[in-house]
DNA sequence: ATGGGTGCAAATGATTTGCAGTAAT
DNA sequence: ATTACTGCAAATCATTTGCACCCAT
């Protein structure tokens, strides 16, 4: 698979996240810490499976239940966001409140990259929908599938 | 739940579909017939569960396996299309080759309506992505969530 | 010491598969 | 008569839940 670069937009460190959680009175366990580090270190949205496999290297007794419960916790506390690539399992990535992005899913190598879709593009579309259908759009899902740079050659 | 109107774009009759399939040498069984009629009669994308429940009224011994296998068959033969509303199960609707549409999913009454999103809106976006990311988009998923006309009041 | 976190086993729910029987041609 | 379809039971796979135990505070 490909290399993971740090996301260029945000520079969240796992320490920042740890402080945030600690300040709210939550405990920082080995697994919670490990999970935060994974999210900070990769650009690839992670599935429960992937997280389990990675964490199991350091903590051989982790259980998938813990992973699922931790993900639920991190989502509830707005640390990570759930995304759906329609391949049968949910994936998670660091929540970035400031920019709204979508994904490019390569059907060749399965890598996922982010695209920022200018807000006004969809806003215009949504306000048109609002008028024509009297439907108040509150959220949307938009994901692109195709072939990445590498897989095209 | 709401009323189902016939889709205004297409006037596919289940007889047309039956002929198409028969012409290809497929058998027209009671269940296949029933399923086609359901798809022609409703605007709401159907889940396997819903189809099973509806068909079971007339054919009390239908099994869910048959429903799933029939759906697979209809998808493979381009009679229906699979859509994903991210609520845990797949849904199916008549395949309409001529117009590319998306859905408005009401979070109040759960009804799903179609929106035609002008081709050029997304095309423009996709060709921009193609240039900026050297990523060749071949398909996309775009669904809207919110509140419909009725649920707004 | 206390309750937030954890592991294990078993449950859930959508979808799939194997196999033997049945009905559409 | 063929063999495409069907039903039933059991398997799969991601995710959830119950419960007793344990570790971060």
CATH number of the CATH domain containing A117: 1.10.10.10
Would you place residue A118 in the very low, low, confident or very high pLDDT band (cuts 50, 70, 90)?
confident
pLDDT in tens, A53-80: 999 999 999 999 999 999 999 999 999 9
Q: Which nucleotides of C are covered by protein (CB under 7 A)?
A: 4-10, 13-18, 23-25
Question: Helix axis angle, A30-41 relative to A64-76, nearest 10°?
Answer: 70
State the DSSP code for B117.
P
Strand C and B29 CB separated by under 7 Å: yes
> If you count residue pairs, one on A and one on B, with CB atoms under 8 Å apart, how many are there?
96
What percentage of chain A reaches a pLDDT higher than 70? 93
Place of tokens 């599935």: A47
Residue B141 burial (CB count, 10 A): 18
The contact set of A with B (CB < 8 A) is 84, 86, 104, 106-107, 113, 115, 117, 121, 125-126, 129, 132-149, 152
Tell me what pLDDT residue A7 has. 45
Q: Which nucleotide is nearest to A27 (CA to C1')?
A: D24
CB-based contact B59:B30 (threshold 8 Å):
yes
Tell me what pLDDT residue A43 has. 93
Q: Which of A86, A90, A108, A135 to mutate to test the interface with B (most CBs of B within 10 A)?
A: A135
Question: Residue B90: helix, strand or coil by DSSP?
Answer: strand
Strand D and A58 CB separated by under 7 Å: no
Q: CB–CB of A144 and B134 under 8 A?
A: no
Q: How many domains does chain B have?
A: 1
Cα distance between residue A35 and residue A66, in whole Å: 11
Domain, as residue range, for A92: 3-152
Residues of A in contact with B137 (CB under 8 A): 104, 144-146
Round and report the angstrom distance from CA (B81) to C1' (C10): 36
Mean pLDDT for chain A? 92
pLDDT in tens, B69-122: 999 999 999 999 999 999 999 999 999 988 889 999 999 999 999 999 988 889
For chain A, strand residue ranges (E) read: 46-47, 80-84, 90-94, 101-106, 112-116, 136-147
- Residue B81 φ then ψ, to 5°: -125, 145
Mean pLDDT for chain B? 92
Residue A106 confidence (pLDDT) above 70: yes
Question: Helix axis angle, A119-133 relative to B119-133, nearest 10°?
Answer: 170
- Residue A90 φ then ψ, to 5°: -75, 155
Cα distance between residue B12 and residue B43, in whole Å: 12
CB-based contact A14:A30 (threshold 8 Å):
no
Would you place residue B7 in the very low, low, confident or very high pLDDT band (cuts 50, 70, 90)?
very low
Tell me what pLDDT residue B9 has. 52
pTM of the predicted model as reported, rounded to 2 decimal places: 0.91
Question: Residue B12: helix, strand or coil by DSSP?
Answer: coil
What percentage of chain B reaches a pLDDT higher than 70? 93
Tell me what pLDDT residue B10 has. 57
Tell me what pLDDT residue B100 has. 84
Q: What six digits make up the tokens of B4?
A: 């189902």
Q: Which residues contact B64 (CB under 8 A, 6 or more apart)?
A: B48, B49, B52
Cα distance between residue A49 and residue A66, in whole Å: 12
């Amino acid at each position: 698979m490909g290399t993971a670069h740090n996301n260029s937009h945000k520079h969240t460190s796992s320490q920042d996240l740890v402080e945030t959680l600690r300040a709210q009175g939550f405990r920082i366990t080995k697994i919670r810490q490990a999970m935060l580090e994974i999210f900070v270190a990769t650009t690839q949205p992670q599935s429960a499976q992937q997280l389990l496999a990675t964490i199991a290297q350091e903590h051989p007794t982790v259980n998938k239940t813990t992973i699922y419960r931790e993900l639920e916790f991190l989502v509830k506390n707005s640390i990570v966001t759930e995304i759906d690539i329609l391949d049968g399992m949910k994936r998670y990535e660091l929540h970035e409140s400031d920019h709204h992005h979508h994904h490019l899913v390569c059907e060749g190598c399965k890598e996922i990259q982010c695209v920022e879709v200018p807000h006004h593009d969809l806003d215009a579309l949504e306000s048109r929908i609002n008028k024509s259908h009297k439907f108040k759009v509150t959220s949307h899902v938009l994901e692109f599938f195709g072939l990445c740079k590498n897989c095209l050659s």
